[in-house]
Structure 1
Amino acid sequence: MVKHNPIARLLLCCLIVALFVVKTAQAQDFKFAFLTDMHVHSDSTLDQVANRLKALPPQIEFIMSGGDNVDIDNLKKTDLALGEQRLQQLKKLFDQAKKTYHMAIGNHERLPRDLRNGKNDFELFETTFGQTYYTFDHKGWKFIVLNSVEVKDNQYVIGEQQFDWLQDVINKTKKEQPLVIVSHVPFLSVYYPVLEGRYTAADTFTNQKQVFDLFKDHNLKLVLQGHMHLYEEIKVKGVQFITAGAVSGNWWQGSFEGTVPGHLEVDIKGQNFSWKYIK
C-alpha cells in the first residue's frame, strides 16, 4: 500500500494554484481596433462610421477610440443640442457593435470656445462617455487613456491633477506589466517638419517629455495617437509611437497628404505586438 503524505499533497496543490495564478497574470493574445478622428458631423458621416464598425472582424475583442469622435467645438450655441445628439447617435452605433469599447476625447469634443470656463470644457463628452482619462486592463496588458486636450497658456498639456493621477497609476503598476498609452494629441509627430519644413510644439502636448519620463522604469510598449490625420510610425527608446491616420481621412474629403481614410488593427501576442492600417 502506498502511503500518502498530506503535507506533500498540500504543497503540490499550492504549487498548482501558484502556477495557475502566474499563467493567468501573464500577457495573453488578443486583437483590438483603434479608430481615431471620426469627426462625425452629419447623418452621412455617421453611416460611414457604422459601415466601418460592421466590417470589423469577429477576432477584434474591443474598440479603442483616439478622440475627435464628434465635432462639437465649432458649433454655435444654438446648435449645441445637435452636437449632443450626434454624440448619443455615435454611442448607439458603438453599443450596436456588440464589442466592448473605450473612448478618448479630442480637441473637437470640447465645448465651443465662447462657452468654456475651464471647468465645463468636456461636459458633453463626459455626459455621454464618462471620464476623459482612465485606465483599463485586458489580458495582462494595461491601457492608459489620457486627456491631452487640456490647455495651459494656449497650449495642449496634461494638467497638474491628471499628471498626479497618472503618477499614482504608474506607482501602483508592476514594472513588468506591458503598457499602452492612448493620447489624442501626439507625444511625437513629424507632421510639421515633413509638410512645412519646420519644427513646432503646436500639435504635441507641451509636457510630453515629463509624462514620457514617468515610464522610464516600466514596460511601456506602445503609444497610440491621433489628431494629425497622417499615418506615422516613430520608435524611440524601444517604445513604438503610431499616429493612426483618421477614419475621416481629409475630413471626409478623401485622402490627407497620402494617408487614406482608415483605422489600425493591433495584434497582441504575449509581450509582443504587430499592427496594420486598414483602409
Structure 2
Amino acid sequence: MSKQPGRRQFLQLAAVGGLVYASGLPGWQAMAATTRTAGAKPDDFYFVQLSDTHWGFKGAPNPDSQGTLPKAIAAVNALSPAPDFVIFTGDLSHISDDPAERRKRLAEFRDIAAKIKVPVVHYMPGEHDASLDNGEAYIELFGRTHYSFDHKGVHFIAIDNVSDPSARVGEAQLAWLAADVRSVPEHTPIVVFTHRPLFDLYPQWDWATRDGQQVIDLLMPHPNVTVFYGHIHQEHHHMTGHIAHHSARSLMFPLPAPPAPGSQAKRNPIPWDAAAPYRGLGWRSIAEHGKQDTATWALAEQPIQANSEANATTKTPETT
C-alpha cells in the first residue's frame, strides 16, 4: 500500500471542504496530485503540518479555543496509513509577558501534543513562543530552534526566524544554513520549514523576515526547494523564482488577507461564525511525489470540524 493519499481520498477531502494544491515545480502533471500508478516508488511518503495552535488563547474569535487542537490531533491519529511524521510550524502557545505563564502554556501544549500517535513529531517556535526571551523557554521544553534532517531522499530544514525579536534569522544561523545546504547534493529535494514568510508578504503586519532574502539566496542554487510556513493564519501560495512558498491555516483563528496598504491598520481575527464555527481553521497533509529535480508536493487542506472523527480521512485504497 502506498503512503501517498490516493485519488479517492483526495476527492473525499475536497467533498468536505478540503483543497488539493500542487506545488508549481518542474515535472508536475496535474493528475499526479490525485492518483497513483502500479509502478509507484515504495519510498513515496506524506507528512502532516499543523501550525499556530496558540495554546492559552481565550477570546471571541474562538469560543472553542481548548477544543480545536485536540480535534486536529484526533483526526491525525485516525489517518490510515499514518503519516511518516508530523511537524508544528510555530506559535505553539499564545504570547504571555509572564515567564511562568509562558512555560505553563508551552508545557500544556507539549502534553497535549504527546497524544499524537505518529512516532516522529517535530516542533519549531513562533514569535509567540520565543520572541520575548530569545527562545529560552522553548529550548528548555523542546530543544533546538533550528535543525535539519533527511527522510527518504528529501532534505528538511527548520529555520528559526522568530527568536530574534527583530524578525531576523541572524548571521550565525545564516552561516549554519550555508554550511548545511553546501552538504546537500544539488538535485536532492529540499523542504524548508519556517514560521514567518521568508519573502515580504506584508511587512506592515510583520508578515516578512528582514533577512529572508539572504535565506532565499542560499537556497536558489538548488533546483528543487519548497517552503512551508505558518504565521499568517490562512492559505497563501507564492513563488520566488523556482522556489514555492505555501502558508498553512491556523488551528486557533483565521486572519484576513493583506489589505491595500493603509486601508486597514490592524490584523484583527476574522469573527467567529456560529453557522460555520471552524471556517478558516485547519491543517494539511503533504504528499511527496517523484524524486530528484522532478519531486513535487500535493497539499491536502483538511478543515477542523465539530465532530473530531469527521475530520479523519478514510483508508487509502491499495493501488492495483
Q: TM-score, normalised by structure 1?
A: 0.74
Return the alpha-carbon distance in structure 2 between the equivalents of residues 189 and 261 of structure 1.
23
Q: Say which structure is richer in strand.
A: 1
Q: In the TM superposition, what is the alpha-carbon distance from 1:40 to its structure 2 partner?
A: 1.5
Residue 261 of structure 1 aligns to which amino acid in structure 2?
L
Return the alpha-carbon distance in structure 1 between the equivalents of residues 279 and 245 of structure 2.
17
Does 2:283 align with 1:263?
A: yes
Closer, same or farther in 2 for the Cα pair 1:253/1:101, shift >3 Å?
farther
Closer, same or farther in 2 for the Cα pair 1:228/1:217, shift >3 Å?
same
Q: Which runs of 5+ in 1 are unaligned?
A: 1-25, 193-198
Does 2:140 align with 1:127?
A: yes
Q: Determine the structure 1 residue equivalent to 2:174.
A: 163
Residues 50 and 88, structure 2, Cα contact 8 Å, conserved in 1: yes
Return the alpha-carbon distance in structure 2 between the equivalents of residues 231 and 277 of structure 1.
9
Higher relative contact order (CA closer than 8 Å, sequence separation 6+)? 2
Greater mean deviation of Cα atoms: 215-224 or 133-142: 215-224
Q: Determine the structure 2 residue equivalent to 1:40.
A: 55
Q: CA RMSD in A?
A: 2.8
Q: In the TM superposition, what is the alpha-carbon distance from 1:187 to its structure 2 partner?
A: 1.3
Residue 98 of structure 2 aligns to which amino acid in structure 1?
K
Does 2:52 align with 1:54?
A: no
Match of 1:277 among 286, 289, 301: 301
> Deviations 1:54-75 (Å, cap 9, x if unpaired)?
343424211111111122x325
Structure 1's consecutive aligned runs of 4 or more residues displaced over 6 angstroms after TM superposition are none
Q: Determine the structure 2 residue equivalent to 1:180.
A: 191
Q: Say which structure is richer in helix.
A: 1
Residues 179 and 222, structure 1, Cα contact 8 Å, conserved in 2: yes
Return the alpha-carbon distance in structure 2 between the equivalents of residues 27 and 201 of structure 1.
43
Q: Which runs of 5+ in 2 are unaligned?
A: 1-40, 57-64, 255-268, 304-320
Q: In the TM superposition, what is the alpha-carbon distance from 1:189 to its structure 2 partner?
A: 5.8
Return the alpha-carbon distance in structure 2 between the equivalents of residues 174 and 27 of structure 1.
22
1:20-169 matched pairs, under 5 angstroms: 28-41=43-56, 43-71=66-94, 73-94=95-116, 97-110=117-130, 113=132, 116=133, 121-151=134-164, 155-169=166-180
Matched pairs, number: 234
Q: How high is the sequence identity, in percent, across the aligned residues?
A: 23
Return the alpha-carbon distance in structure 2 between the equivalents of residues 243 and 263 of structure 1.
10
